[in-house]
Amino acid sequence: MQARSPTTAPGGGGRLSVLQRHLTAVPLSGQVSSATYAPNFCYTLDNDLLTTEQRQFYEENGFLVIKNLVSHKDIDKFREVFERVCKKELTAPGMVVMRDVAIAKSEFVPDQKAITKVQDFQELPELFEYCSLPQIVQYVKCFTGPNIMSMHTMLINKPPDAGKKTSRHPMHQDLHYFPFRPADRIVCAWTAMERIDRSNGCLVVLPGTHTGELKQHDYPEWEGGVNKMYHGVRDYDPSLPRVHLTMEKGDTVFFHPILIHGSGMNRTAGFRKAISCHYASSDCYYIDVKGTTQENIEKEVIELALKRYGVEEILLKDAWMAKGRLVQGERINL
Ligand SMILES: O=C(O)CCC(=O)C(=O)O
């Protein structure tokens, strides 16, 4: 993929005022850029929801936080469903329950506390309801257009770190996992299910990196081990400014799949919860990842499919085709 240039060069003038206005919506711990420029947008589509300033912010930074988008009532409902999944009272075809690499080995921790993530809940209506919440979908449309597929669903239950720093999520680009394009018509919605800040491992983003290219990802060489499929960007400029997203319960961040992001260690005693869905325009098309940086993730997905379901001869795109669901409009390519 070619590196793309930002729609404009950052300028000093508007930076402070736009940043200050955004700060009233979300507390940030780093620097983001926000120049004033003629609207020549490529990461957002014309719509009657986002203000020009919000569009400019996403174009420039690759993410946008919307305060208080999901009600506490809905979040409490999703939390209860998650607890029932942990107790094995609820299950669904294709749903994957993942365990923390360090905690799962510990015989002293009750079973459900080892669960770090419930993934691919597209067949569990009680959780999938999140993906079709109208207030989320209306924002998603500003990035994908009207034909919307949910492609990847997760409820992340970041556990208290067991001392091995395995609760961290390495810095990565979500596009590494996706064999479909174009990247600009894919967006993630990630909702905080409680207050999330640096103490319990908030999201960390590198603003503006969505304008770059997809990089090589591998397992990071972490002493305490790393969770399954948690690949990290092999090399990125460590001097790039980082922004820690402090979010309140119900706040939702929308971000681009090339944005480099990760999350920190959970230093509290509680389980930090967030629910998320990656959406793509159904006009997106599948690509063959052979010969690309994504070959390693394809290999891992194929090995897992063989181990878990005895399925042979699948491609990365087959796995995605099976879990994509139409949320709005018409199913075209995906
Ligand atoms: O919720 C988190 O800790 C990070 C999630 C994330 O970046 C991902 O799953 O791609």
Task: Give the residues across from 280 on adjacent strands.
Answer: 149, 186
CA dist 324 to 80, 97, 186, 242, 280, Å? 25, 18, 13, 32, 9
Query: Strand 203-205 relative to strand 261-263: parallel, antiparallel, unpaired?
Result: antiparallel
Which residue minimizes the CA distance to atom 3 of ligand 1? Answer: 263
pLDDT at 112 > cutoff 70: no
| Res 223: pLDDT | 62
CA dist 5 to 38, 41, 116, 190, 211, Å? 15, 12, 37, 26, 6
**How many beta carbons lie within 10 A of that of residue 183, not counting itself?**
22
pLDDT at 312 > cutoff 90: no
Domain 62-328 superfamily per CATH: q2cbj1_9rhob like domain (2.60.120.620)
Question: Ligand 1 center to residue 209 CA distance, Å?
Answer: 17
What's the DSSP call for residue 116? E
Where are the domains positioned within the chain?
62-328
Angle at the Cα of 203 from the Cα atoms of 86 and 234, rounded to 5 degrees: 100
Question: Ligand 1 center to residue 129 CA distance, Å?
Answer: 20
pLDDT at 19 > cutoff 60: no
Model confidence band, residue 116 (pLDDT cutoffs 50, 70, 90): confident
**Which carries the bigger pLDDT value, residue 15 or residue 106?**
106
Q: Give the binding-site residues of ligand 1, using a 6 Å CB cut-off.
A: 154, 156, 158, 169, 174, 261, 263, 274
pLDDT at 309 > cutoff 80: no
CA dist 92 to 122, 187, 216, 236, 273, Å? 8, 25, 33, 38, 20
pLDDT at 210 > cutoff 60: yes
pTM for the model? 0.86
Q: What are phi and psi of 120, to 5 degrees?
A: 60, 55
**Which carries the bigger pLDDT value, residue 115 or residue 109?**
115
In tens, the pLDDT along 79-100 reads: 999 999 988 899 999 898 887 6
| Res 164: pLDDT | 79
On whether the CB atoms of residues 259 and 63 are closer than 8 A, the answer is yes
Question: Ligand 1 center to residue 40 CA distance, Å?
Answer: 30
Please tell me the distance from the alpha carbon of residue 116 to that of residue 66, in angstroms, as a whole number.
25
CA dist 207 to 34, 51, 230, 279, Å? 10, 19, 21, 20
Give the tokens for residue 163: 């001392």
In tens, the pLDDT along 161-184 reads: 878 787 888 999 999 999 999 999
Tell me the longest C-alpha to C-alpha distance in the chain.
59
Please tell me the distance from the alpha carbon of residue 330 to that of residue 83, in angstroms, as a whole number.
34
Omega before 179 cis (within 30°)?
Answer: no
Question: Ligand 1 center to residue 262 CA distance, Å?
Answer: 6
In tens, the pLDDT along 221-267 reads: 766 666 677 888 988 888 999 999 999 999 999 999 999 999 999 99
- Residue of 263, 278, 279 to test ligand 1 pocket, by largest number of atoms within 8 Å of CB: 263
| Res 43: pLDDT | 97
Phi-psi region of 201 (alpha: psi -120 to 50; beta: other; left: phi over 0): left
| Res 102: pLDDT | 58
Lowest mean pLDDT among 77-91, 102-116, 188-202, 229-243: 102-116
Q: What is the mean pLDDT of residues 95-121?
A: 68
Query: DSSP for 262-286?
Result: EE----SSSPEEEEEEEEEETT-EE
Model confidence band, residue 106 (pLDDT cutoffs 50, 70, 90): very low
